[in-house]
Structure 1
Amino acid sequence: MSDFPTLETPRLQLREIVTADAPALLAIHSNKQAMQWFGMDPITEIAQAQALVDTFAESRTQPNSGIRWGIQDKAHDELLGNCGLFKWNRQWKSCSLGFALGQPAWGKGIMSEALQAMLVWSFEQMQLHRIEATVHPQNQACLKLLERLGFVQEGRLRQAGFWLGEHQDLLQLSLLRAEFEPSPISAF
């Protein structure tokens, strides 16, 4: 992954996250309601948002690299959220999935559209066989989204996460390449 892959959908552009996105990342990742499920404490300062930009950029150069896209509304040029893959095990052809969406974009099908594009790209370009996701059991919106995309629940990881001062159970889900059926929206 030398050049950053930009992906397009009818409404969205998935693009590299840059320094100018730090204020939008702060707005998304400082929201306590959204971050209760994300796996990290909410951030509170612009320097923490800049550190996220740096972390996302550096993840592409790590041995078990990853990639994180900014989700931008093409009509308004605003960053709505982010999504990506991490813990890429090339030998096993597997990755983990992560995403966050700003509260103003909730309930509009934005993340479904973005993830469809990302999944098509990852199965084709990264030649993945399996994509994993871990989700807090009470995050019903996320669970429903992943199940609509074809992810299957595999089990509960007891107290596998720690954020907001508590150990958190997580549900393990996965999607296999043979199970993935892109919806018409991903045929762009």
Structure 2
Amino acid sequence: MTTDPFQLFDTWFKEARETELNDSNAMTIATADATGQPAARMVLLKGHGPDGFIFYTNQESRKAADIAANPKAAILFHWKSLRRQIRIEGSLSVVPDETADAYFATRSRDSQLGAWASDQSRPLDSRETFETRFEDMKARFEGQDVRRPPHWSGYLLKPHHFEFWQDREHRLHERRVFERDGNSWTEGMLYP
């Protein structure tokens, strides 16, 4: 049994990629604004390692505003087919420009153009307005690479808490927790 939460995450994530039909990297991220009002939404995990967990977004979105006001978050992976979930809590920081540029270059061209066309989280008068903006971006970048918009980047969640939850019969679930203790981790269990 591993006592490294990152190794355990890697094991569970590998199994999820083999069993989940769609978006095994989908995670809920919960943030809170300056007043403490929480908000949760689904994003996709786009990188992870011993430094933490990376996702990308428009930095003018509601989630980015929450992060600017309160750079802490919780993420949740739920893999129904495995009857497992992982909760992770930590602090957030913006990834380096080189990291964001490298990931942005891997996105489909339409996704790249969509990042330019969308005023994410702001009111939209009609779908037609967005589609027109998208077509305008296609024309603007015709024949050239689509560079990353200055308002679009990634965030790294550096964990200080993990909980690995495994469903068991009769709601006798197993819950393992890991807490950061300096440069190492302490492990414990919780009642179901």
Q: Tell me, yes or no, whether TM beats 0.5.
A: no
TM-score using structure 2 length? 0.26
- In proportion to residue count, which structure has more strand? 2
